[in-house]
A and B are shown apart, each in its own frame.
Chain A
Amino acid sequence: MMTWFTDPLQFDFIMRAMAAAVIVGVICSVLGVYVVLRGMAFLGDALAHTILPGVVIAFLIGWPLAVGALIFGVLTAVGIGVLTDRGDLKEDTAIGVIFAGFFALGVALLSASGNYTLDLAHFLFGNLLGVSTSDLWMISVLGGIVLLTILLFYKEFLVISFDMILAATLRLPVTFLRYLLLILIAITIVASLQVVGIALMLAMFVTPAAAASLLTRRLPTMMLVSALIGIFSGITGVYASFYWNIASGPAVVLVATAVFILTFLLAPGRGVVWRYSK
């Protein structure tokens, strides 16, 4: 039985995959708490897709992927701002237009360059078992930046998530904080690209945090529980991927989804089963 757990760990590529899955599980799940509380799920999903052209351009000209992704992440945020500013378009409409347009641009750029299907599959669904040592470094540095920023702006992010008018009366730099949160999401997406890929990124933001919201009543504990679910999903997903040859991204997401369903049914006080048995 023990060897079932330890066997895969002999392989370096599995160890790297585990490390990447754990780091990504933590940052996505912690940042995801804000995504869930602020109702930014659609925006998060859109950002995951709109950074594709940036990543592809950076990939083609040999720049760090993070730089291309950040440029298009900021372009998305500014674009949504410009489209909704005059009040003629609703925010979700503006997000939808930019979401689809940028994603199409990314796929078009990729299709015009050589190895289309393989690269597209990797961008869309991740390539966890192909994480290199330098990838792992990049993921660690980006993850560190995200967690440190959340720590530094913890109380300000809490206020803008709970009560925007309070943020205004306290004279907090609200616009700056909102853009900062978007940039953190963009950075996290870049860090997570190889682990879950664009198509399933949303699950890593929303699912662990949603499960955690059913189990906790304070923000710090919600972040902690969300991170633990993220870590568990990452590690279990890698095992599933190794033994049953499932694509790693979907494996990680399926574990997180299973955790959510169990929580939804069994959460003390708030789960479905709990309510029925009363």
Chain B
Amino acid sequence: MSTFVKQLTYHKHEHEPDSAALTLEGIVVAYHDAVNGRVTALDNLNFTVQTGERIAVVGPNGAGKSTLFNLIVGTLKPTDGRVHIFGHGPDGHICIAYVPQRNNIDWQFPVTVEDVVMMGRVGRIGLFKWPRKQDWAMVRHSLERVNASHLAKRQIGGLSGGQQQRVFIARALAQEAELLLLDEPLTGLDKPSQDSLFDILDALQAEGVTALVATHDLNTAVERFDKVMLLNREIVAYGAGQSVLTPQNLQHAYGGHVHLINSEDTMMALADTCCGGRE
């Protein structure tokens, strides 16, 4: 981690030295539905993500990717099992940043790019205080790192898809996040925008930032991530991409009717379960 970031880093929880970035033990998420009775959204999840790893999370819609992210963020409590982040439960951490799917953001909202990035600082500025000089410096620095300095004064509605994604990563940088969750950041981005996104993720990884990325793009998952997690309510397979995304595993995760679409530079998995999920 750069010394600049380190100087300003502050945790409500001191991170345990040598502990993994993320450990899930025996996680079950179940809820009662008026129509279906007891529904298990996630079942018996056990896995560890080491600090600095970049993980692709793939699986059909409704596989529980969003549920998993909500668990890690701490907005959802597991029915059973435990989540550890740098050795503690998620509650005390402000080092987790969530980059939402782009269609979950109100792009008409009256804020500029630098306003959005400054929101990442709110947890550190504290109640009843206004942004200080070092907070604005952090915002400028974060925008520089994602090559978006020239967009600072723009209203967020006027940005392209790739720019929108970069601005939200800048917000995570301003938050001084060490665990980054990105919810389908590649969807709708052209190849150059995807490449520049991975350039940023590479730079972050070099500083020890851990990232979990939900995606539907299986080729990218294999090529650009340390590990792939294939999820469908339970972990179907987890490990190096080539060993995880085998035809058998994909059949298992996506059901009987998986269609693998190979185009020039992407492989997408489409299945009948698509769009029937709860995500």
Q: Contact residues of A with B, CB < 8 Å?
A: 37, 87-88, 152-153, 155-156, 158-159, 161-163, 165-166, 168-172, 213, 216-219, 221-222
Residue pair B128, A169 in contact (C-beta under 8 Å) = no
Knowing A88-B34, A165-B73, A217-B155, the reply to whether A171 touches B12 (Cβ < 8 A) is yes
Knowing A163-B100, A168-B75, A171-B12, the reply to whether A222 touches B123 (Cβ < 8 A) is no
A213 and chain B: residue at smallest CB distance: B110
**Residue among B105, B125, B128, B155 with the highest chain A CB neighbour number at 10 A:** B128
Q: A152-B128, A155-B122, A218-B112 are in contact. List 17 more A-B contacts (CB 8 A).
A: A37-B106, A37-B110, A88-B34, A159-B119, A163-B105, A165-B98, A168-B73, A168-B75, A169-B73, A169-B94, A170-B94, A170-B175, A171-B12, A171-B93, A219-B110, A219-B115, A221-B110
Knowing A168-B74, A168-B75, A169-B94, the reply to whether A37 touches B123 (Cβ < 8 A) is no
A163 to B183, CA, bound (A): 14
Bitwise interface map of B from 184 to 205 toward A, beta carbon under 8 Å scored 1, else 0: 0000000000000000000000
Kindly list chain B residues whose C-beta atoms are within 8 Å of the C-beta of A37.
106, 109-110
Bitwise interface map of B from 108 to 151 toward A, beta carbon under 8 Å scored 1, else 0: 01111001101110110101101100000000000000000000
B124 and chain A: residue at smallest CB distance: A170
The 8 Å CB contact of A171, one of B34, B92, B112, B119, is B92
B179 and chain A: residue at smallest CB distance: A169
Task: Provide 22 A-B residue pairs closer than 8 Å at the C-beta atoms, listed in order of the A residue.
Answer: A87-B34, A152-B127, A158-B111, A158-B115, A159-B122, A161-B109, A162-B116, A163-B100, A163-B119, A166-B119, A166-B171, A168-B74, A168-B75, A169-B94, A169-B96, A169-B123, A171-B94, A172-B122, A172-B123, A213-B110, A219-B111, A219-B115
B36 to chain A, nearest CB (A): 13
Q: Contact residues of B with A, CB < 8 Å?
A: 12, 34, 73-75, 91-94, 96-98, 100, 105-106, 109-112, 115-116, 118-120, 122-123, 125, 127-128, 130-131, 155, 171, 175
Residue pair B122, A218 in contact (C-beta under 8 Å) = no
A230 to B98, CA, bound (A): 38
Kindly list chain A residues whose C-beta atoms are within 8 Å of the C-beta of B110.
37, 213, 216-219, 221-222
Knowing A158-B119, A171-B12, A219-B115, the reply to whether A166 touches B128 (Cβ < 8 A) is no
A218 to B118, CA, bound (A): 13
A4 to chain B, nearest CB (A): 37
The 8 Å CB contact of B122, one of A87, A170, A219, is A170
Kindly list chain B residues whose C-beta atoms are within 8 Å of the C-beta of A87.
34
Kindly list chain A residues whose C-beta atoms are within 8 Å of the C-beta of B100.
163, 165
B236 to chain A, nearest CB (A): 26
Knowing A163-B100, A165-B98, the reply to whether A217 touches B91 (Cβ < 8 A) is no
Residue pair A218, B111 in contact (C-beta under 8 Å) = yes
A17 to B91, CA, bound (A): 50
Kindly list chain A residues whose C-beta atoms are within 8 Å of the C-beta of B125.
155
Kindly list chain B residues whose C-beta atoms are within 8 Å of the C-beta of A161.
109
The 8 Å CB contact of A162, one of B73, B97, B119, is B119
A26 to B83, CA, bound (A): 47
A169 to B96, CA, bound (A): 6
Kindly list chain A residues whose C-beta atoms are within 8 Å of the C-beta of B123.
169-172
Kindly list chain A residues whose C-beta atoms are within 8 Å of the C-beta of B116.
162
B138 to chain A, nearest CB (A): 14
A153 to B128, CA, bound (A): 7
A112 to chain B, nearest CB (A): 40
